[in-house]
Structure 1
């Protein structure tokens, strides 16, 4: 296996850009995907989140389009956040070769995007929905595109983007290079790839469904009403940053309120937040303004944050494959971390499905019910059950009983 970027066939200009951003050694997915992509072949790449997939497709396309004019490369990703994150490394490497790019996503001024497209940037980075809007209005042309990237292809299909993808593909030339990257390669992705790619080179550096190796996994079997006490206990064990996943917007907001009341600087990320609020939450988490980021699965893919100390699955994901993406948020690049998952007795079938796709069991860990932090939170919960005042039920409970109110929500009402 190649142990340096020099051996992958990259130009001196690109190697210089790699040194400037301190990319010293290629990851396995880069070693295996870059040479066939440089040769113009279609590629299917499977690797766990955080293993360097972006550079694996950005670098060969930048090399192929260097010195040429017009819009030649289209990169599609399922979420606005992921598109923005792709834009950062692409911008660095494209600029080194005199190439340009623009970002086309929902939630931002479409007229400004139309103007940017008129300059014929080399690369267009887009979410499927906004790109289709621009196609329908006649504001973008894809007939000259020679390279297509589908990043997080499984996620795009899971999110129901197949009609938009088919609409976009119909506008692209039949003769093109397609690079499809995904953390899991399920039946839907396989069917899509067979129909849309030409003799692809398959690169699978981890088995489909394999989590990042450096993530230490822990599974806690808890009562629903114990989740909040366990969350506070895990946060008290260290001062590391924490990405906390909840399964709905309402639940995420409740967890956020709990953490804020307990003195943990926290932000939330879900679909009801405005684009500006999302950006502020992500930047604040990256920069250390917030210790905790509470998120729904909108952030499970493509969340580019270095050194996340722990991922906490307050709720299990809707899709077993999303478990892999969630815990991949810790153990990015050369980092390591802990991924803790809370499961109730009703979640047994979901846990079994997760373990099936991972081909291994998640280590069970005893719930630390004797820990002083857990006991204090649990005592507050029990007290709130005996005397739940009306003010506490509705809003603005005193900090001393906030924990109990939060836990009681889980205990008496099924989460949506």
Structure 2
């Protein structure tokens, strides 16, 4: 018999908030992590992205701090977007019990954040960099923190936040509760957990590295010039929202423009955008203003958008773990979704690394080369190769096109001329 939220020991006030959130029964990570967290135990929680990890740590924190004065909880996340989403959920669940959060992230007015901290909020939701900045000017006091949460811990370590996290740990009481949540538990996270946690309860509802179980996966082996025709072909097959992953910020901006020109309302999300631009892109995608969100792996963790129908990896990710997090953006909670990966023949070793970490073979799907849209885009590409247009004199200022090898310039004549979107 499955557990209910009432059976987990939550108060009537919190159960009311759970009901307003339209939660049904607890997800496995919630059912197994909430009771030990509620009792004050340290917890290491591992579950596929989109299975309710945020509520698994927020609900017991809010229960424990209800009625207490001062700042009692600290939640660290790797990205501003995730921190904002956590703060929103903390406010939703915490307000009925008088437990209020404050958001401390880069890209926002530091003086306003200092003023907010003076109000002694119950919870601080922060990115490590900005919190360390405030510690440096003695604008935040962490001496009374009772519970520390490390959300997406593997991502924080991957992003090089360990020095900042160590500074923060030094500012915290030694006697505290620590909750560490992650979609993967690699060697770095395990070593860190052994040092930072005390006799933790380990909750691993899915093996580390397991992709979202309801994500329908497709692997397409393509030539570089086939990526753009395949992308448009897949987008033509339905009207589902699409999260398109690429490797670089410049490529994200270019693909956003190309998709918009092709009739698909699109936005870009990456670290090169301002905080306001990132928020506008994410909110627009969440509301359905944009069908496509083109992102770097900045968005692979913690992107909380319901009903993403299709995650398309236009480029193979830098690391195999990032594939798990990418496809975790679809098939969240009880939903289903589709995940497509475009790969070149030369990337087979990377594909083997991905298959090793997800413990299954990627289902290979035939490239729909006979589809009318695919054929049209390939013909346009080939026509551009045959007739690249008039040469423009560069007056000695040759520029290396995106994708060319460092230190080597693409030819400006014949077949060496840089192509359009298909070759990007």
Q: TM-score range by the shorter chain?
A: over 0.9
CA distance in 2: counterparts of 1:404 and 1:382, whole angstroms: 10
Per-residue deviation, 1:153: 0.0
Counterpart check, 1:406 vs 2:421: yes
Counterpart check, 1:387 vs 2:387: yes
CA shift in 2, pair 1:390/1:44, >3 Å: farther
Cα RMSD of the aligned pairs, angstroms, is 1.5
Residues 26-60 of structure 1 deviation map (CA, whole Å, 9 limit, x = unaligned): 00000000000001000000001100000000000
SS at match of 2:217: strand
Preserved CA contact (<8 Å) 1:383 1:404: no
Show the counterpart of 2:414.
Answer: none
Show the counterpart of 2:330.
Answer: 330
Residues 108-152 of structure 1 deviation map (CA, whole Å, 9 limit, x = unaligned): 000000000001100000000000000001100101000000000
Unaligned stretches of 5+ in structure 2? 402-417
Runs of 4+ in 1 over 3 A off after TM superposition: 390-395
Show the counterpart of 2:23.
Answer: 23
Show the counterpart of 1:43.
Answer: 43
CA distance in 2: counterparts of 1:109 and 1:133, whole angstroms: 12
CA distance in 1: counterparts of 2:92 and 2:272, whole angstroms: 31
Show the counterpart of 2:86.
Answer: 86
Counterpart check, 1:255 vs 2:255: yes
Show the counterpart of 1:291.
Answer: 291
CA distance in 1: counterparts of 2:422 and 2:100, whole angstroms: 51
TM alignment of 1:115-194, pairs within 5 A: 115-194=115-194
Per-residue deviation, 1:21: 1.4
Preserved CA contact (<8 Å) 2:2 2:25: no
TM-score, scaled relative to structure 1: 0.95
Per-residue deviation, 1:390: 5.0
Preserved CA contact (<8 Å) 1:157 1:188: yes
TM-score, scaled relative to structure 2: 0.93
CA distance in 2: counterparts of 1:63 and 1:390, whole angstroms: 69
Per-residue deviation, 1:404: 6.1
Show the counterpart of 2:407.
Answer: none
Per-residue deviation, 1:2: 4.0
Per-residue deviation, 1:3: 2.4
Counterpart check, 1:242 vs 2:223: no
CA distance in 1: counterparts of 2:320 and 2:186, whole angstroms: 12
CA shift in 2, pair 1:346/1:11, >3 Å: same
Aligned residues: 402
Counterpart check, 1:107 vs 2:122: no
Preserved CA contact (<8 Å) 1:2 1:8: no
CA distance in 2: counterparts of 1:406 and 1:20, whole angstroms: 46
CA distance in 2: counterparts of 1:45 and 1:293, whole angstroms: 29
Show the counterpart of 1:274.
Answer: 274
Show the counterpart of 1:3.
Answer: 3
